[in-house]
Amino acid sequence: MHAAPGREDHPVITASQLAEADGILFGFPTRFGMMAAQMKAFFDSTGGLWQEGSLAGKPAGVFLATGTQGGGQETTALTAITQLTHHGMLFVPVGYTHGAGMFAMDEVKGGSPYGAGTFASKDGSRTPSDAELALAAHQGKYFAGIAKKLKAV
């Protein structure tokens, strides 16, 4: 499917390990305005977790990469929410909690109120900008705070 080969220095979680997490931020590339088929196949492999309700009540969020500005970051997030909903997971968007950085128009950058994002270019050669990395770091901290609060309940 023209995906880059897996890297040994990037750990890969199994579907069964999802149940052990206090919360999950899913990151994946966009393909034609929705999650890549490989990610959809991963979600499809969680049927047993769905049947047992193992992910119900867990916070979840998304961060994305697209090849172009019109690559579908928001539609990908919206279509990913259906996977989370069927599991009974609680979608935690970043919203506009990052403040002024969310409104700046002085550079091209990915991300939205649904989650952090980057524009990778059509060949994946573009690395995330400082603004994109700042939003991603903020989303991680914000999400962890929500997960911690929910865990305490």
CA 67 from centre of chain: 16
- pLDDT band per the 50, 70, 90 thresholds, residue 1: low
pLDDT tens-place string over residues 12-34: 899 999 999 999 999 999 999 99
d(CA 34, CA 28): 10
**Is the model's pLDDT at 71 over the cut of 90?**
no
Domain ranges in the chain?
21-151
Provide CATH code, domain 21-151. Answer: 3.40.50.360
Mean pLDDT within 30-44? 93
If pLDDT is split at 50, 70 and 90, which confidence band does 2 have?
A: low
Report the percent of the chain where pLDDT is more than 70: 97
Report the mean per-residue pLDDT for the chain: 93
Q: Are 119 and 67 in contact (CB under 8 A)?
A: yes
Which two structure tokens, joined as six digits, stand for 67? Answer: 């090849």
Is the pLDDT at 70 greater than 90? The verdict is no
Give the pLDDT of residue 102.
87
- Check: CB of residue 61 under 8 Å from CB of residue 89: no
Q: Name the percent of the chain lying above pLDDT 90.
A: 76
What mean pLDDT is predicted for residues 29-50? Answer: 94
pLDDT tens, residue by residue, 80-129: 999 999 999 999 999 999 998 888 889 889 999 999 999 999 888 999 99
Task: Calculate the dihedral angle through the C-alpha atoms of 14, 117, 70, 85, rounding to the nearest 10 degrees.
Answer: 50
